[in-house]
Structure 1
Amino acid sequence: MRVTASAPAKVILFGEHFVVYGEPALVMAVERRAYVSTEPRADGKIYIRAENVGASGYYSGEDLGTFEAETGGAEARRRLEPIKVVIEEARRLSGKNLGLNVTVESAIPVAAGLGSSAAVAVATAASAGRVLDLNLSKDEIYRMAYEAEKVIHGTPSGIDPAISTYGGTLMYRRGEGVQPLALKVELPLVIGNTGLSRSTGNLVAGVRRLKEKYPSLVEPILKIGGKITAEAVKALETGNLETLGNLMNINHGLLSAVGVSSLPLERLVYAARMAGA
């Protein structure tokens, strides 16, 4: 039996990076998806082919501790490890050491801030869970994907696997879970991609270093970011897009202040503002 599952990408409208420190974030699923297909294999090995990161290989042994790269060279194991973590947990929950072929195909750009790794992890949990006869709840899928995200990002906020699991538009606060939001208006949204890859883990670490060096300056910025998110939720709930746009401009200024921007991004923002954003 071959089972294919998919999960959406995301865009964080407000609260990016501030959410790591317990502030609320406003996040929306977007219709770019990761697809994962899983089927049994007879030899007990786990074969993973992830076209989105250009890697494939075999895990074997009782603890899946032996890895043999097929493509992707020395980086293959690191790139496939989050997927293996999800498969490992699914096999543990099922009590079955079944061999599996896992194929990842994704339309989500990698390292572009759209949650590609979380979407792959969520789709992997859903696909493998069905093959292993697990009736996983969305909460269980979220927890499995969150563990995979920890392999990549170290201390993730949890927002990416949350939106990929539950979908829609959510307000998310670390430790408190998700609050679904009902939009009063259709949100006209353009997502700009510079084409430059950035590591979320490195960016989060950079903000943390800045906070540790200048706590009296950075901590108020984080708090203001949380207040902006709360105001943005009100604007969305009332359909006030002008206020929403103004809040986005303020929010971007805060992100720039803590080092979460780049020259290409600033050029995109400037072009958008010149066009009336």
Structure 2
Amino acid sequence: MTASRRTVVRRAPGKLFVAGEYAVVEPGNPAILVAVDRHVTVTVTGTCHGAGAGAGAGLGAGGEAADAVISSDLGRGPVGWRRQDGRLVLHGAGDGRQARVALAHVVAAIETVDRLLAERGLPVRQLDVSVSSRLHEDGRKFGLGSSGAVSVATVAAVAAFCGLELSREERFRLALLATAEIDPKGSGGDLAASTWGGWIEYRSPDRAQVLDLARRLGVGGALRAPWPGHAVRRLPPPDGLSLEVGWTGNPASTASMVSALHRRTWRGTVSHQKFVETTTDVVRCAAAALDTGDGPGLLHQIRRARHELERLDDEAALGIFTPGLTALCDSAEAAGGAAKPSGAGGGDCGIALLDAGAAREITHLRQRWERAGVLPLPVRPALEGTEE
């Protein structure tokens, strides 16, 4: 059979948390996120049948072709991989552990799609996978959900290349199954924002439960089974408000921050329960404000969210509020807006909402941020999720 070349391109937007951080990691608790117009693009190229080497595939010492070659503009690649017992292992010489850490989310996404193909009796393909990210700049990580975006884009690109027709919900579930193997504490909110785009209200499933579903029922069974607690719905954008984003210059690890909270004895206390209940109410009220176009009501909920994160930080000593994030929030309040850290804190980004018609105040806010060492990021909400 003659092989022909085929290329599939998919991209997924980054995200920002608007409200609900930390509480959303508990199954069923809600959060609000917004997708942003910086994307990760994944390009998959190869042959259109399951046998034979994909063009451009790497070769091993014996001349055999790699099953997958992954390259990334973040500094890893091209790296060859071969399939072994349902996993991708390093193909040829090199530091396998370092490569697997650097490309963990891409590798996990390919492995998860491979499992679904095998269950459906479809051939796996030899792949050249190229990753390009606008969620970084000059090696700087902005905290816009690059891991989630690359997982979603890789699942979408590899699945489409292999002929799988998947709904948006199925693509999200595959991405969550892949990322939960790496970090079961992650809520999956970033994956939902990258999949659906726009402003969303998200509730997380029990990741341990969905991984168990995949083990017992297979990946396809886990896609079809109910996921208790999980829900996603689109929200209208805020009426009359401008979203401003500032980067503190300090990258942070969400996984490390969430893991630190899980190690604290504060979890499970009355104070922790109060935080979850109050944060849940904040998200409910903020979603209602978005639904009804209540700009002042939304600003009030953003301020409540900030205060709850401050209380969490004081009591659990997580280091959520850095000097840069505090300055970001205070500057927005001085300009008549409302602001808070976006995500786990400890660095990365903060968000502010201000009157969209207050051009002077918005300009002054950006100037105050720059004087405080906070970089205003020219990002806007992305109305669409995973796209070609």
Using the size of structure 1 for normalisation, the TM-score is 0.90
1:132 counterpart letter in structure 2: C
Distance 1:129 1:252 in 2: 39
Q: Aligned runs of 1:22-61 on 2, under 5 Å?
A: 22-40=28-46, 41=54, 43-52=65-74, 54-56=75-77, 57-61=79-83
1:126 corresponds in structure 2 to: 156
Cα shift at 1:10:
1.2
> 1:263 aligned to 319, 323, 326, which one?
323
1:99 corresponds in structure 2 to: 126
Cα shift at 1:200:
1.0
1:90 corresponds in structure 2 to: 113
1:12 aligns with 2:66: no
The question of whether the paired residues in 2 share the 8 Å contact of 1:184 and 1:238 is answered with no
Greater C-alpha radius of gyration: 2
2:36 counterpart letter in structure 1: V
Cα shift at 1:23:
2.1
2:133 counterpart letter in structure 1: S
* Percent identical: 30
1:67 aligns with 2:83: no
Q: Deviations over 1:232-271 (max 9, x none)?
A: 1121122222221222122112112223332221111112
* Greater helix proportion: 1
1:241 counterpart letter in structure 2: G
Greater CA drift, 184-193 or 204-213: 204-213
User: CA distance change for structure 1 residues 32 and 211 in 2, over 3 Å: closer, same or farther?
Assistant: farther
How much is the aligned-residue C-alpha RMSD, in angstroms? 2.3
Q: How many residue pairs were aligned?
A: 276
Greater CA drift, 60-69 or 26-35: 60-69
Cα shift at 1:210:
3.3
The alignment partner of 2:128 has SS state of strand
Distance 2:176 2:258 in 1: 16
> 1:108 aligned to 107, 114, 135, which one?
135
1:274 aligns with 2:334: yes
Distance 2:94 2:8 in 1: 24
Unaligned runs of 5+ in 1: none
User: CA distance change for structure 1 residues 218 and 92 in 2, over 3 Å: closer, same or farther?
Assistant: closer
Distance 1:113 1:151 in 2: 21
1:194 aligns with 2:248: yes
Q: Deviations over 1:27-83 (max 9, x none)?
A: 11111111000011253521111223x222111143344315899996322121221
Unaligned runs of 5+ in 2: 1-5, 47-53, 56-64, 205-228, 314-319, 338-388
1:267 counterpart letter in structure 2: A
The alignment partner of 1:128 has SS state of helix
The question of whether the paired residues in 1 share the 8 Å contact of 2:10 and 2:157 is answered with yes
The question of whether the paired residues in 2 share the 8 Å contact of 1:83 and 1:148 is answered with no
User: CA distance change for structure 1 residues 92 and 186 in 2, over 3 Å: closer, same or farther?
Assistant: farther
Greater CA drift, 107-116 or 118-127: 107-116
2:284 corresponds in structure 1 to: 230
1:249 counterpart letter in structure 2: R
The alignment partner of 1:219 has SS state of helix
User: CA distance change for structure 1 residues 181 and 61 in 2, over 3 Å: closer, same or farther?
Assistant: closer
Greater CA drift, 206-215 or 30-39: 206-215
